[in-house]
Structure 1
Amino acid sequence: MAAKPEKKPFLLRINPAVLAAVEKSAAADLRSVNAQIEILLREALARRGRDLGTD
């Protein structure tokens, strides 16, 4: 089994309304808020043509 890539902690200051929307979205997708933010960031980067490679 391949080793998981290391995750780097990152402090995020976020507008309360944006956080509430992310929390609702995460709950609907049965994900943690952290996982939801990472998914949203990956989707936004993909739309901008930023290839992250495979995990």
Structure 2
Amino acid sequence: MSEKKKQIPLRISSKLHEDIASWAEDEFRSINGQIEYLLTECVKWRKRGKKDMAGQSGDNT
């Protein structure tokens, strides 16, 4: 069974759209696929950062 995906409206500038479209073409993805990939990677990066920060003490001395 495939994962149910949410649909969201997204408004971006023409320049950002052009940049993402070019990047998507370079990586053989659709624009939607590229946006989903970038968001997924960003969330993974943020979660890793929080795990790294959780292991640190608050003392910077």
Q: Same fold (TM over 0.5)?
A: yes
TM-score by length of 1: 0.79
Q: Which runs of 4+ in 1 moved over 6 A?
A: none
- How many residues are treated as equivalent by the alignment? 48
TM-score by length of 2: 0.72
In structure 2, list runs of 5 or more residues that go unmatched.
49-61
Show the counterpart of 1:42. Answer: 40
CA-atom RMSD in angstroms: 1.2
In structure 1, list runs of 5 or more residues that go unmatched.
51-55
Deviation at 1:13, TM superposition (A): 0.4
Q: If you compute each CA radius of gyration, which structure gives the higher value, 1 or 2?
A: 2
Deviation at 1:7, TM superposition (A): 1.2
Aligned equivalent of 1:7, options 5, 8, 13: 5
Structure with the larger RCO, 1 or 2 (CA within 8 Å, 6+ apart): 1
